[in-house]
């Protein structure tokens, strides 16, 4: 029995062996067709820099890696892979930073880094606070005049290389036209383009409130609007945000008086008496907002007028601690007469 079975097995053994070899080749080819080896560029995840450090040049965005694994898995997961840089390896100056790991690699996929380091250049940037200046074009109609203007903010903080910041002492806004203006108005103006490498910290929008008044002498009961509110006694470590920046008053005068005299001779004040406690590291008192009564202060030439009404009589004041990442000892506060002027195309 056994001999008969063995005889059948060895019968035409050459043909059977060839068939087995061919089948094995087909099987190996089938399995290999499911395996994919390809080179892909994966994005580099750079750490955010703190303080006054920045990337001085655009660092490389991707590095090449060789990916090996099942075709469908490799094609799908390659888009999620990222090269990660350790923040501790990023230093001031030009350095070759190692790529320590590739994240987003699924199980069963082999990744080989074809580039193990990338050049990174880090520079230290300076900060400088400079005033904002507004320029007006033309004049109001006859019997009207521009009395005052209020800028919010009045200063901005610039960031850039120290040698670039030295050249900037102020920022000049695009011109604002006063032609045909007969009443107070507000206009939002954008900070003009700055030299390459110099950036504005915060918003680039500046609100300009312009007070236009008639040139007339009047007696009796009158009103005046656009009187700026001054925050009196503010702790230098705090910033105060007022719910209203201007007040209007109703007053009575027996003598003829110009509106300009009112707006230049009267000050509206609110007491900003919250303080920052450095020991407790908080604003005292804690309850916000503060409701403060507006006080009108007259100069000696206006002692004879009677203030009938102030609108609003009270305003809200919210306090916040000044930005801690800006060291006042390291900020250059420009006060010179030369600065950045807008390009003609930026004028409005």
pLDDT in tens, the chain (348 residues): 565 655 655 566 666 666 667 656 655 554 555 678 889 899 988 888 766 677 777 788 898 999 998 888 888 888 889 998 888 888 777 888 898 889 988 888 888 888 888 888 887 778 888 999 999 999 898 878 887 788 888 899 888 888 888 889 999 999 999 999 988 899 999 999 988 878 888 889 999 999 887 776 666 788 888 888 999 999 999 999 999 988 988 888 888 777 778 778 899 999 999 999 998 899 999 889 999 999 999 988 888 889 999 999 999 999 999 865 444 444 555 443 344 444 443 433
Distance (Å) of CA 190 to CA 149, 195, 205: 16, 15, 5
Q: Specify the domain boundaries for CATH 2.170.120.30 within the chain.
A: 12-123, 220-321
CA–centroid distance for 116 within its chain:
34
CB contact set of 330 (below 8 Å; sequence gap of 6+): 126, 127
Task: Compute the distance between CA of residue 214 and CA of residue 225 in angstroms, rounded to an integer.
Answer: 12
Which segments of the chain does DSSP mark as H helices, in order? 2-10, 13-33, 71-77, 162-165, 259-265
Domain 12-123: which CATH number of 3.20.20.140, 3.40.1260.10, 2.170.120.30, 3.40.50.300:
2.170.120.30
CATH no. of 126-213: 2.170.120.40
Residue 240: which of 201, 206, 271 has the closest Cα?
A: 271
Domain 220-321: which CATH number of 2.170.120.30, 3.40.50.10440, 2.50.20.10, 1.10.357.10:
2.170.120.30
Cis (ω within 30 of 0) for the bond into 153?
yes
Tell me the whole-structure pTM to 2 decimals: 0.47
CA–centroid distance for 268 within its chain:
32
Structural tokens at position 9: 């097995």
Structural tokens at position 322: 């000044």
Q: Specify the domain boundaries for CATH 2.170.120.40 within the chain.
A: 126-213
């Amino acid at each position: 029995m056994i001999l008969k079975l063995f005889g059948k097995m060895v019968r035409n053994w050459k043909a059977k062996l060839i068939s087995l070899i061919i089948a094995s080749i087909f099987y190996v080819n089938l399995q290999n067709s499911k395996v994919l080896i390809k080179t892909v560029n994966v994005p580099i995840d750079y750490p955010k820099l703190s303080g006054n450090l920045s990337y001085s040049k655009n660092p490389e965005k991707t590095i090449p890696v060789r990916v090996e694994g099942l075709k469908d898995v490799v094609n799908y997961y390659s888009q999620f892979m990222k090269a990660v840089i350790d923040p501790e390896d990023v230093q001031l100056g030009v350095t070759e930073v190692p790529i320590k790991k590739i994240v987003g690699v699924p199980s069963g996929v082999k990744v080989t880094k074809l580039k193990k380091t990338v050049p990174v250049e880090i520079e230290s940037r300076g900060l400088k606070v400079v005033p904002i200046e507004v320029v007006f074009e033309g004049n109001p109609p006859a019997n009207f005049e521009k009395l005052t203007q209020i800028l919010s903010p009045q200063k901005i903080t610039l960031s850039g290389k120290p040698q670039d910041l030295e050249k900037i002492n102020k920022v000049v806004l695009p011109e604002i036209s006063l032609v045909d203006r007969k009443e107070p108005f507000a206009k939002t103006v954008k900070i003009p383009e700055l030299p390459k490498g110099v950036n504005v910290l915060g918003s680039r929008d500046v609100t300009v409130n312009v007070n236009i008044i008639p040139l007339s002498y009047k007696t009796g009961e009158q009103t005046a609007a656009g009187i700026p509110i001054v925050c009196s006694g503010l702790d230098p470590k705090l910033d105060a945000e007022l719910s209203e920046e201007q007040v209007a008053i109703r007053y009575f005068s027996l003598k003829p008086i110009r509106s300009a005299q009112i707006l230049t001779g009267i000050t509206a004040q609110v007491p900003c008496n919250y303080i920052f406690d450095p020991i407790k590291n908080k604003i005292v008192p804690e309850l916000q907002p503060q409701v403060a009564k507006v006080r009108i202060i007259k100069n000696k030439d206006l002692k004879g007028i009677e203030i009938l009404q102030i609108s609003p009589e009270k305003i809200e004041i919210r306090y916040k601690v000044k930005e801690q990442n800006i060291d006042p000892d390291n900020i250059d506060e420009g006060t010179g007469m030369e600065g950045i002027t807008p390009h003609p195309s930026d004028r409005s």
